[in-house]
A and B are shown apart, each in its own frame.
Chain A
Amino acid sequence: MASSRRLAASNQRNAQRSTGPRSRQGKARASRNAWRHGLAACATWTGPLAPDLERLTDAIAGPNPDSCRRHFANIAAEAEFELRRVRAARLTLIAPLTANLVETKDRDADADRPAPSAILKSLARLDRYERRATSRRNRALRLL
């Protein structure tokens, strides 16, 4: 059996040989290894959705809001957009589940699709993101 010193040395040698991806594309790919649906991350509403968010914030805040009212209106609008993102993610799971239950009666024909039980587990996991976004929005709305 190798001594712990030899083991440590061989570990060190192996670690030096495998230092992860080196190319820019490889690093970009590896940086998303843990990504599942992106709903746990804090979304930043820039790009094409920014004007929509601004419009909803204005509508919630009402005419001539003070800075405090506008701040909470913005939080509520962001949470509302987050809620829509979760609902959209849920729809992408429900569609294949429905197709699986409706279109095919034959178990073998479903081989290429994800198992319905696996889809159901993923759907159930989305629940907490929806609860979180709803609570955040409602808290902000209550303060208006």
Chain B
Amino acid sequence: MAQSQYVPANVRELLGTAPLHEGEDPQQYQALLSEIARTVKPADVMEWLWVKDIVDLTWDILRYRWLKMSWIQRNKLGSPNLSTNRYFAGGMSEFDATTSAFASLNLIEQMQASAELRRNNALNEIEARRASLGQALRQASDQVIDAEAKPALAKAS
């Protein structure tokens, strides 16, 4: 059975559309959903909703990681050579622009932390309902995040 076919058609309909934007690969998302669903074998619609939550939040965490990396590269935040003299067209010094870029980076960090917290909350909900499902789900989701789901994000970049 193909990975994307693991989710039954009637459940797929209930779960709604995948929250992806143009540059992201729906097949990668479906593969992630199928992989996690296959591991935990959700027993009813409630468990399917939580599995979908975990998948969406795992995808969000990866997306924020990618955003963070792109933001650092774009704003050259890795470079130690900051000048207080050079001014950009908007009248902002390079130092001010860098400070502002760091503030935005902090926002991305906060959103990622919030997604991780919500993912953990979803896992706790599941663990409270069904201990074995929660443990398998945590393991599957952790494995995916550790592996960085490279193909999906490489396509976006």
Q: Which residues of A contact B (CB under 8 A)?
A: 55-56, 59-60, 62, 76, 80, 84, 87-88, 90-91, 94-95, 97-99, 101-102, 105, 107-108, 116-117, 120-121, 123-124, 127, 130-131, 134, 137-138, 141-142, 144
Contacts and interface: CB of A to CB of B under 8 A. Distances in A.
A102 B157 contact: yes
Given A123-B111, A144-B46, A98 B104 contact: no
Given A124-B111, A138-B125, A117 B100 contact: yes
Top 5 nearest A-B pairs (CB, nearest first) are: A101-B70, A95-B21, A59-B45, A87-B19, A117-B104
Contacts of A144: 46
B118 A134 contact: yes
Kindly state the interface size class of chain B when it binds its partner. 35 or more
Contacts of A60: 45-46, 49
Contacts of B44: 62
A101 B71 contact: yes
Contacts of B128: 142
B19 A91 contact: yes
Given A101-B70, A123-B111, A134 B46 contact: no
A134 B16 contact: no
A97 to B, nearest CB: 7
A98 B23 contact: yes
6 contacts: A60-B46, A87-B56, A108-B89, A123-B111, A124-B107, A134-B53
A88 B19 CA distance: 7
A107 B157 CA distance: 18
Contact of A98 (B16, B49, B56, B156): B156
B76 to A, nearest CB: 11
Interface in B35-88: 44-46, 49, 53, 56, 63, 67, 70-71, 74, 88
A102 B101 CA distance: 16
